[in-house]
Amino acid sequence: MIPVTSVRSLSEAYALLKDRPPGLRVLAGGTDFMVAVNARLGLDRIGHVLDIWRLQELRGISLRDGTLRIGALTTYAELMRSPEVLTHLPALAAVSREVGAWAIQNRGTLGGNVCNASPAGDTLPHLLAAEARFVVGGPRGERAVAAAQFFVGYRKTALGADELLQRIDIPIMPGARLVYRKVGTRKAQSVSRTIVAVRATREGGMLRDVRIGAGCVAPVPLRCRRAEAAVEEGGDVRAALEQDIRPVDDVRATAVYRSRVTGNVLLRLLESL
């Protein structure tokens, strides 16, 4: 039987993290974790479960000094209803509505989406495009990691073995808009085939401060820096994007499809800004 420690405070969590028990897994809303448990996938690699679901310190959304601060345990349903999110980053509320359906939205968390680090994580292109910072902490202290530096390999993150994601900080840029499009097989309960988010400010006919995040087109959720430069410098955006991305064939789509559709979606999003 896998030992589980359910904590109610950060200090309790840190006490466990300090010892770095082998095979430690952090359990939040469980919408990914329990799928693996039910399928008996990788159970032998789990030595200890740290259940943080009732850790109130990691909940809540606030706006402070022009930054939206979102606790790691904030659920999709909470993002969908949050006045702060609806006012300052409505695209994050909108994409939360496209994650699973009600039962998943009630349980899945933003922090879980970040730490699970799936290339198909639906909120991750938003967080990349919005230049979010992930505040992580542990017995050794706190630090902030830029979203673009957080995803270091396929489902691998910059999180240390004794660290927990505490909150997601999103700077609100006045005048900027963030738009996105998720392409799945149907409206609900669908894993994305590709997903693109773009943030920019429009100055006359030009787009400035362009940031592009994309999912399902590389082993990690990806900042598309060549495409960003092409937009700002008036280059060939589609060709630049193709240099950024490394899509693969899988059960949901072919690489060729992903490449073509991601380019189409990006160009349409840019037109809409």
- Catalog residues that contact another protein under the rule CB under 8 A: 1-2, 4, 6, 27, 30-31, 34-35, 37-39, 49, 51, 53-54, 77, 81, 100-104, 106-107, 187-189
Q: Which is nearer to another protein, 1 or 204 (CB)?
A: 1
Amino acid (one-letter) located at 66: G
What's the closest the beta carbon of residue 24 comes to another protein, in angstroms?
14
What's the closest the beta carbon of residue 46 comes to another protein, in angstroms?
9
Start-end of H helices in the chain: 10-18, 33-38, 76-81, 83-88, 90-97, 102-105, 110-116, 124-129, 147-150, 225-233, 237-244, 255-272
Q: Which is nearer to another protein, 15 or 35 (CB)?
A: 35
> CA 230 to CA 51: how far, in whole Å?
44
| 3-class secondary-structure state, position 42 | coil
> CA 39 to CA 160: how far, in whole Å?
27
| 3-class secondary-structure state, position 234 | coil
What's the closest the beta carbon of residue 183 comes to another protein, in angstroms?
17
Q: Which is nearer to another protein, 58 or 148 (CB)?
A: 58
What's the closest the beta carbon of residue 35 comes to another protein, in angstroms?
5
Place of tokens 């060549």: 226
Q: Which is nearer to another protein, 31 or 192 (CB)?
A: 31
| Structure token digits, residue 36 | 């693996």
What's the closest the beta carbon of residue 18 comes to another protein, in angstroms?
22
Cβ–Cβ under 8 Å, residues 51 and 3: no
Phi, psi of 223 (to 5 degrees): -85, 130
Q: Which residues contact 88 (CB under 8 A, 6 or more apart)?
A: 63, 68, 172
Cβ–Cβ under 8 Å, residues 204 and 233: no
What's the closest the beta carbon of residue 104 comes to another protein, in angstroms?
6
Q: Which is nearer to another protein, 100 or 111 (CB)?
A: 100
| Structure token digits, residue 217 | 């087109």
What's the closest the beta carbon of residue 36 comes to another protein, in angstroms?
10
Q: Which is nearer to another protein, 64 or 187 (CB)?
A: 187
Q: How far is CA 122 from the centre of its chain?
A: 6
Q: Which is nearer to another protein, 54 or 202 (CB)?
A: 54
